[in-house]
Structure 1
Amino acid sequence: MSKINWFRAGVAVSAILAASAPLAPAYAQAAATGSDAASDEAADQPTVAAGDAIVVTGSRIRRDPLDQDAPIVVLDRTAIENTGLSSIADVLQRLPSSGGGLNSKFNNSGNFGNPPDGGGVGAGAAEIDLRYLSSRRTLVLVDGLRFVNGASASGIPAATDLNAMPIEMIDHIEVLQDGASPIYGSDAIAGVVNIITRERQEGFRASFQYGQYLKYNDGRTIDANLSWGGGTETTRVVIGASYVDQRSVSSGDRSISLFPEPGGTSCLDGGCSSGTPLGRFLVLDQNLTLRAPVIGRNPVYNPLNPTDPASDFKEFTTADRFNFAPYNFVQSPSQRFGVFGSFLQDIGSSTHFRTKVIYTHRESANQAAPLPLFVGPDAGNGNLLDRISIDATNPFNPFGVTLSAGGAGNPAANYNFIGRRFVENGARRYYQDVDTIYATASLDGSFALGGRTFYWDVNGVYGHNDAHQTFLGNVNAQKLAQALGPVALCTGACVPFNIFGGVGSITPEMIDYVTFTERAKSDQDLRDVSANLTGSLFDLPGGPLGIAVGYEHRDQRGSFDPDPIVTAGFGSDIPAQPSSGRFNVDEIYGELRAPLLADQPFFRQLDASFAARLSNYSTFGSETTLKAGLNWKPVEDLLLRGSWGQGFRAPGIGELFGTPSRFDQELVDPCSAVGGAIPAGVRANCIIQGVPADGSYVQANPQLSVITGGNPNLQPEKSKSWIFGAVYSPSWVRGSGFASRLDLEANYYDINVDGAIQPIGADVLLGRCTDTNDAFSCASVSRTASGAISQIRGLLQNIGSIKTRGIDLIANYRTPQSSAGSFGLYWSSNFLLEFSEEVPATVGFTKIERKGTERGSPDQAYPKFKSTGTFDWTKDAFMLSVTGRYISAVTESQNGNRMGSRFYTDFRLGLSPGFLQERFTLSLGVNNLFDKDPPGCSSCGLNNFDPTTYDVPGRYGYVELKAKF
């Protein structure tokens, strides 16, 4: 790392950030935040003394929370609130170990198509991705039990939507940064996020926060929360509600996203669309030569000279392209309302009944530019739009002849493509309504046997996610064909359609006839029952042998139902077909913790652990995973640990049963240069595949249709991981006047994933076909008569592998209370040593190194170094927190563009007056204090920056009032 980067990393330790109070490392409930507010929150929770046996994420065996086998980061209630963020996903995505995931900065509702994983777009959802291994490989739990997967009415995802969790219900979050499939089963390859809910509270608590982007006066967000808790010694009740109203930020209001290229000032800078409101036409002239003119409002066409100066036609140029960028959202709007209830009843002295209910309603929206209406054989829609002919009797047809798309029963094709931006119908608007209900019931207790205490629990889980999406801006291809066809057949409600007349030529009557409101829906169900038993069997030299065993049965079901018009193939947007599926699994597991030595020279503690899980799936059969670890304390203050583990991820419902869906990928067709300077062998193979030998074919659209579908024969992904770590907590500093706490932690991780589920890349299939004429690859590529690619097809397969290595560093320091108050310092960093993918190539396999790069579409940066440093101060009624977040520079892998490093600064100041008995706290905060814009990214999907890694451009300020009664 360069000297300047080390300097910035050091600055991050004491830097300027409001957003978070210290995040404690692997100390679970014992974690301290150093703030008075945290102490107030902790007063509602059961007291846990050091050395008490509790259950912490990563093991079912009860143990001292200070002796952790794996790296765990804990975000307590104060840390979450101090970020000023209204989404748990946004909070988690600030962890240096996080790779991003869906969030409110994503605006894709399908205008690029559906990603090739069967999960749909996920519009309005929010997810967590640890170690850049995707959200599908991060398991999300609530109080140690699985949460239902999300749905946004575009597919059947294999990930959890964190927006379905009311923030008011959360007590703290434990993030296990280690694989845990032997403990928790599928999906825990990268780690586990365990959300611990409030179970005890005294009285009312309320909070209200208002924030917005100060310079632009947009992105207004209201976050309101209310909860009440009470009861008796044997009965406890907590109920609460959360409401979030987040308004949009338009891409047209930020300079980085005003044009398709970062920093662009016109379409001459590149990236604009060929779908122009004036119309773009690829027709055959009298010499059977393709032309690409743009026509004006009142076209006059000279068939002998298509570019006759007397006509309104002219050659299409870059200046005629359409700037779609200002129509998008940089921050998508979202309203979320959630309620929760928790009930705890003691039954006798050693048995407890717990039940919990969570309900969340989400209304979110996305927006894209007006529909690019493409018709003709080379349009690439894959439906009726590709076969539309425009009759000579259409009153707006200036060509004097029928423009035929060819095909059975029609004259030979005499046009290839017509593109018309449908600006008269306004922007494409997508609205999601999502309801999530999650309920659990648990019975737990303890009993004595042979002089030892055993703990047991039985749990039931029900989860249901129901999503509906309404899309305004789509066109019914069947009605459009009638409106463009013979005028004699355009009867009744039909109105002849003017696709030729330029801006304003499409009337409201035409719009009403050809458009429709598209409605799609999807849902997912989870039913889970489990039973666990933990205790100790006998004593070993270092202590009792701990054991945990358990059983789990899980049923999961999901479905996706697109609009019937879309299902019939008559939509103008992304085609889709219904999907549905289900599976069930039975699992048993066992876990041992063996204290081998204790209180010996150089062996203050030596523990070994082992876990195994057997899973039997209805879809693919059985899978066994193992894990082993070793903890060693050579002295009291130093813990050394290491673990080896196997992991697996069962294919999701969308991956197994998803019907073929389309993704519009930017690819260069090697055959579009036939007749030019390309290798003779490639030219010959292109001609074999039907590309005209005369060199007349030129790729019209940079986006090619890629079709990917599910595969019921998929097998689980498998992983192996190594974790080595050290924790140093010197006792000599505690009580010395220098510090009340000093913790240093370092962890090295090495994770390998084999059989990763993905399709063979469209670029690979196309390259294999054009380079080698490979029969399988060529059969996957379809071309039209003109040589244009109509689609590239592929199924999901177990064909990829991923390897990632890195180092996490954590430092946590706090001073004792003094007349100057108490000071704290927290620093968390991630060094990415390797992230590589091995994927099929044109010949064999190729290794792609992602470290230090930006992948782009789908967006993901892989910085070599990420760091968060927080300085906080508390004195009497005052609380101050300053934090810096550093992201090292990356290089776009597609074009070599360097995206510079970023250093974000956040600030928060709180006041809790003593004369009000500290019942009220007023806080002011600013995120991105110095107004740093994200680095421009030309290969990213929308808005010219990576939403998984960087903040929305602008300085965000907020004010919050909290009260307790």
Structure 2
Amino acid sequence: MYKNNKLSKAVRLAMAFGTVAAVAFPSHAIANVDEEEAAPVERIEVTGSRIRRLGEIAPTPVTVITGDSIVDSGVTNVADLLHRMPNTLIGLSPETSNNTIFASGLNNTDLRGLGSNRTLVLVNGRRFVSGAPGSSAVDLNNIPTAMIDRIEITTGGSSAVYGSDAVAGVVNIITKTSYDGVTLDVSTTQTRQSGGEEEYASLTFGADLGRASFISNLSWARQKQISFMDRDFLRNAPIVIRNPDLISGDPNSPLAVVWGYGEQVLASYTKSGTFSAGGTRYTFSDDGSLRPQQLGQPLPPLTSGRVDYLGGEGYNFAENSFMRTPLDRINFITNMSYEFNDDHRMQVEFNLSKTDAYGESSPAFLNLITQGDNALLPQDARDLISQQNVGATYPNGAVSMGYLASDFGNRQYSQDRTLARISIGFDGAINDNWMYNAYLTSGHVQADTEWYGEMYEDRFYDAVDAIELDGQVVCRDEIARAQGCLPLNIFGRGIYDADAYDWVSTDAIRRSSIQQHVAGVSVNGDIMELPAGWLAAAFAVEYRKEKAKTLPDPAMRAGLLFNNQSQPLDGEFDVKEISAEFSVPLFEGLPFMESLTFETAGRAMNYSTSGSDTAWKVGLNWEVNDELRIRINRSKSVRAPNITELFAPPGQTFAGITDLCATSQRDGLNPDYRENILNNCAAQGIPTDFEPSPEWFGSTRPGFIIGNTDLTNESAKDITIGFVYNPSFVDDLSITVDYWKFDMSNMIQSFTANNLVRYCYQSNSIDNVYCPLLERDPETFEIVNFFQKPINSALSTTAGVDIETNYRLSTDIGDFGIRWIGTYLAERTFNQTGFAEDEIVQTGEQARPRWRNRLISSYSYKDVSAVLTMTHRKNSVVNNQWTPNQNNYNDVPSYITWDLTGRYNVNDDLQVRAGILNMFDKAPPRLPNMYNNGNYYDMMGQRFTLGVNYTF
């Protein structure tokens, strides 16, 4: 009953409808199909549906990337290819996570730019443990490219089929399941400018033993760091100053302009300490002697009014900035299969991986009050300082000194992640019509972070403030001396006492773990035969439990370290789900209606944290004729809050607050909300003549950043309408067009203290989500505490069109192929509160340009093949809310890179490949907000790849 006697038609539709490839298929990956009659086409499960279907005809748009295409792209990490696709943004990557504490080196993908936590990543149709505690985003570093058979990307809401997190779509990574032999693959990537080099080695081996088979892969990959000093476009950065030609009152005269390019230096910090006295800035030589600081060329005042320098001594921004996180990966994966008989099979997947990365930033930078009697200073420095700022507080004089703690080393955040995952599944036939699949999956990630170059900040201030007492140099503070304080001489380089250094310096560690356990059973098959075909269905029951813990160093919990404070996290949730999916053939064999099928799916879920919810999908697949197919889908998807959003521990913060209930604020109230503000203040019992005290105005207020266990699920309604056209008058040509739109509501958002005040009192009543996050003293009515909790408040709309064309031509001189994948963004709005005035339009901004394109052309002849790829971003703007009086650098130019790769099969066992990536060495736009933005531009520059693949 599954036999298809028109295989050529099925294959053509397979490639065109729902299985549109994301990169050019090399010629050796395409089978020639000439026979009208051929072997039966098996029913398979495609991403976006649990119903097995003929000829890979998916009910929703699916993009496919083949394993060969990954190799042809010249990358060794699947994330590097996904980040270049027009329908994705970067969630996190080594180019964007260097200064993201706890996340350095992570590789997350972000479909449609809706957020990596709203993109569900599966491996062989099953959930994979996340890469960071508290998050649901999968770290793609744990999936070795050598084991990838293909990647299926469904860019539409899929919660009805797969559950939470599939709001933007699903990335389903299908791994190889069998192999008989041994293959060694090694490659290297060398950059034209130093930094960012890569090495890769992979060993794949397996055996087919009849009923039993296995395939295993052991791979190692290393990518090196890129600092700003390694790239000329980062080192010589654009420098923004206050417009010296500003015309007051002219709305077209910008406040800020780009002055030029160079190494910008902040003079107020040096590696041995710096201070100003008598109009001269001083520092210390390595031996501790006082001397004038060597300053570079003074720049015009910055927008803040500060004067920096071009070159010279001080805090060099390029020297202390890093672009690409170094990353080492070791992956081991094995897939085993055993067939009990023709109808029943067991499969085992085992993943073990270890990744090491570190973020790096400048040494600690501190401001310290240095008094004129400091015994660590040379005599001429004491004499000079003793004449500055003399008064009751500092009778011996004092200066504010800026110190860059280079002797403590750069601050590094080492990330050591170890993943272990096992999945055991059973599948087979219940009878001639029904199949089953049951599986258990358990995953664990140990993610430990260690800090180097850290210091106890209070100890540091005590140790550098020394006096002479009874002929000995000691710490000034008696309590500090009793605790073991030793004088630390920082006024020079390397002249400190080792014991004093040890008392101040420290390393710190935070241990964390993630656990995921999943169990599921599904059945799919045909229920009954209708006049137009078989009514097919799939039913599934799933259970999932996730847990995350973090345990920071005691010094971090106490807030004793420079710029690092963290509290323990301990959270978990479980969810029970049941789903059903139906494919109902309505008509067949009518004029202009070869077939019409109704698709629907529904899922009910119950979370231990956010309660019960449902997701659904309805759609129509209309095959007009052999050339044209039209599809329409409408669905509701949900995302449950993750562990961090729910259970993040309290971390103290401080903020200056503007209280709208104060009488001094009355004249400046927004007239559209004035009545609401006054009514809400009165509803809380705040007197009409209320005014906070001067002490309240003169200080920042304490508050807490904390999770929110009252969060509910996010919701999204999406629609896709598209067609696939395979003209009969042109062989091997397909055109695919899909319009899509996502309307999201109840999105989780966090707010600053002042925004909490604003939205609390601008609301129609005090019965809103913002007011409970503010605490007032019941007697003084002053705001004494606030909670920056995530809440369900935001809305967004994202819409656009995906276009893909594919054409292949076979000739006597070789096979040619060309594929264009383009995404046009028609609409992107975001509203963090639901208030009309807070809606912002992000369409056409740098993060979301109107057009993103990828053009792939391929050629093959006998044992030689080559692929030329263009990646394009349309010109855009940094911010749609920009006005000409702000700056002169809002426009973002278009950006294009070209890659050329090739392969040569020396013989049946040996293949060599080479390539030039970013072959024209295209640098990012040399403007602020662009030149160092690894989210959108290639920071590697021109690089050369060379690889060898040998099969034993």
TM-score (norm 2): 0.80
Deviation at 1:88, TM superposition (A): 1.0
Residue 173 to residue 550, structure 1, CA distance change in 2 (3 Å): same
Query: Does structure 1 residue 362 correspond to structure 2 residue 355?
Result: yes
Q: Which residue of 1 aligns with 2:878?
A: 892
Residues of 1 paired with 2:827 and 2:339: CA distance? 50
Query: Does structure 1 residue 439 correspond to structure 2 residue 425?
Result: no
Q: Which residue of 2 aligns with 1:605?
A: 595
CA deviations 1:2-29 (Å, max 9, x no partner) are xxxxxxxxxxxxxxxxxxxxx9665559
Letter in 2 for 1:247: K
Of 777, 801, 808, 1:807 maps to 801
Q: Which residue of 2 aligns with 1:335?
A: 328
CA deviations 1:291-319 (Å, max 9, x no partner) are 99965338999xxxxxxxxxxxxx98434
Query: Does structure 1 residue 82 correspond to structure 2 residue 64?
Result: no
Deviation at 1:437, TM superposition (A): 1.0
Residue 770 to residue 327, structure 1, CA distance change in 2 (3 Å): farther
Q: Are 1:210 and 1:222, in contact at CA under 8 Å, matched by a contact in 2?
A: yes
Residues of 1 paired with 2:371 and 2:736: CA distance? 70
Q: Are 1:880 and 1:910, in contact at CA under 8 Å, matched by a contact in 2?
A: yes
Query: Does structure 1 residue 850 correspond to structure 2 residue 827?
Result: no
Of 388, 392, 409, 1:426 maps to 409
Identical columns (%) = 26
Residues of 1 paired with 2:266 and 2:22: CA distance? 52
Of 131, 143, 157, 2:124 maps to 143
**Can you give the 5+ residue segments of structure 2 that lack an aligned partner in the other structure?**
1-13, 241-257, 292-304, 466-474, 660-664, 670-688, 777-782
Q: Which residue of 2 aligns with 1:871?
A: 857
**SS where residue 315 of structure 2 aligns?**
coil
Query: Does structure 1 residue 716 correspond to structure 2 residue 713?
Result: yes
Q: Are 1:325 and 1:369, in contact at CA under 8 Å, matched by a contact in 2?
A: no
1:33-112 superposed matches below 5 A: 34-38=25-29, 51-110=41-100
**SS where residue 490 of structure 1 aligns?**
helix
Q: Are 1:627 and 1:643, in contact at CA under 8 Å, matched by a contact in 2?
A: yes
Residue 707 to residue 76, structure 1, CA distance change in 2 (3 Å): farther
1:638-787 superposed matches below 5 A: 638-661=628-651, 681=668, 688=692, 690=694, 708-734=705-731, 741-761=732-752, 764-765=755-756
Residues of 1 paired with 2:489 and 2:771: CA distance? 40
CA deviations 1:857-887 (Å, max 9, x no partner) are xxxx111100011110111011011111111
Residue 826 to residue 844, structure 1, CA distance change in 2 (3 Å): closer
Q: Are 2:67 and 2:145, in contact at CA under 8 Å, matched by a contact in 1?
A: no
Letter in 2 for 1:754: S
**SS where residue 807 of structure 1 aligns?**
strand
Of 233, 249, 252, 1:256 maps to 233
| Total equivalences in the alignment | 842
Q: Are 1:899 and 1:936, in contact at CA under 8 Å, matched by a contact in 2?
A: no
1:284-295 superposed matches below 5 A: none
Q: Which residue of 1 aligns with 2:559?
A: 569
Q: Which residue of 1 aligns with 2:513?
A: 523
Residue 30 to residue 161, structure 1, CA distance change in 2 (3 Å): closer
Residues of 2 paired with 1:575 and 1:32: CA distance? 45
Query: Does structure 1 residue 190 correspond to structure 2 residue 183?
Result: no
Q: Are 1:892 and 1:937, in contact at CA under 8 Å, matched by a contact in 2?
A: no
Q: Which residue of 2 aligns with 1:220?
A: 197
Backbone CA RMSD of aligned residues: 4.3
Deviation at 1:422, TM superposition (A): 1.4
Q: Which residue of 2 aligns with 1:208?
A: 186
Q: Which residue of 1 aligns with 2:679?
A: none
Q: Are 2:450 and 2:508, in contact at CA under 8 Å, matched by a contact in 1?
A: yes
Residues of 1 paired with 2:375 and 2:316: CA distance? 30
Q: Are 1:766 and 1:778, in contact at CA under 8 Å, matched by a contact in 2?
A: no
Q: Which residue of 2 aligns with 1:346?
A: 339
Residues of 2 paired with 1:720 and 1:745: CA distance? 23
Letter in 1 for 2:127: R
Q: Are 2:571 and 2:647, in contact at CA under 8 Å, matched by a contact in 1?
A: yes
Query: Does structure 1 residue 475 correspond to structure 2 residue 455?
Result: yes
Per mean C-alpha deviation after superposition, the further-off stretch among 489-498 and 329-338 is 489-498
Q: Are 2:617 and 2:636, in contact at CA under 8 Å, matched by a contact in 1?
A: yes
Q: Which of the pair has the greater relative contact order for Cα pairs under 8 Å at 6+ separation? A: 1
Q: Which residue of 2 aligns with 1:624?
A: 614
Residues of 2 paired with 1:296 and 1:207: CA distance? 54
Residue 669 to residue 824, structure 1, CA distance change in 2 (3 Å): farther
Q: Are 2:239 and 2:260, in contact at CA under 8 Å, matched by a contact in 1?
A: no
CA deviations 1:318-354 (Å, max 9, x no partner) are 3486223323332221110111111111111200000
Q: Are 1:24 and 1:73, in contact at CA under 8 Å, matched by a contact in 2?
A: no
Q: Which residue of 2 aligns with 1:118?
A: none
Q: Are 2:711 and 2:792, in contact at CA under 8 Å, matched by a contact in 1?
A: yes
CA deviations 1:140-190 (Å, max 9, x no partner) are 000000000112xxx532311110112222111111111100100000000
Q: Which residue of 2 aligns with 1:453?
A: 433
Residues of 2 paired with 1:424 and 1:957: CA distance? 37
Deviation at 1:246, TM superposition (A): 1.0
Residue 613 to residue 729, structure 1, CA distance change in 2 (3 Å): same
Residues of 1 paired with 2:495 and 2:775: CA distance? 37
Residues of 2 paired with 1:422 and 1:441: CA distance? 52
Q: Tell which structure's C-alpha radius of gyration is larger.
A: 2
Letter in 2 for 1:826: R
Residues of 2 paired with 1:946 and 1:798: CA distance? 30
Residues of 2 paired with 1:292 and 1:579: CA distance? 50
Q: Are 1:158 and 1:654, in contact at CA under 8 Å, matched by a contact in 2?
A: no
CA deviations 1:346-398 (Å, max 9, x no partner) are 1112000000101111111221111123579xxxxxxxxxxxx9997775596
Of 530, 534, 547, 2:524 maps to 534
**SS where residue 187 of structure 2 aligns?**
strand
Q: Which residue of 1 aligns with 2:951?
A: 964
Letter in 1 for 2:408: N
Q: Are 1:259 and 1:266, in contact at CA under 8 Å, matched by a contact in 2?
A: no
Residue 872 to residue 90, structure 1, CA distance change in 2 (3 Å): same
**SS where residue 565 of structure 1 aligns?**
helix
Residue 581 to residue 127, structure 1, CA distance change in 2 (3 Å): same
**SS where residue 59 of structure 1 aligns?**
coil
Q: Are 2:818 and 2:856, in contact at CA under 8 Å, matched by a contact in 1?
A: yes
Q: Which residue of 2 aligns with 1:738?
A: none
**SS where residue 472 of structure 1 aligns?**
strand
TM-score (norm 1): 0.79
Deviation at 1:956, TM superposition (A): 1.2
Letter in 2 for 1:925: G
Deviation at 1:39, TM superposition (A): 5.7
Residues of 1 paired with 2:27 and 2:238: CA distance? 48
Of 168, 177, 182, 1:199 maps to 177
CA deviations 1:535-594 (Å, max 9, x no partner) are 011112221000100100001000122211111221112211111100001000000100
1:807-956 superposed matches below 5 A: 807-816=801-810, 818-840=811-833, 845-854=837-846, 861-893=847-879, 897-913=890-906, 916=907, 918-939=908-929, 944-956=931-943
Residue 569 to residue 833, structure 1, CA distance change in 2 (3 Å): same
Q: Are 2:437 and 2:523, in contact at CA under 8 Å, matched by a contact in 1?
A: yes
Query: Does structure 1 residue 128 correspond to structure 2 residue 109?
Result: yes
Query: Does structure 1 residue 236 correspond to structure 2 residue 213?
Result: yes
Residues of 2 paired with 1:244 and 1:602: CA distance? 53
Residue 463 to residue 503, structure 1, CA distance change in 2 (3 Å): same
Q: Which residue of 1 aligns with 2:681?
A: none
Residues of 2 paired with 1:466 and 1:68: CA distance? 37
Residue 822 to residue 441, structure 1, CA distance change in 2 (3 Å): same
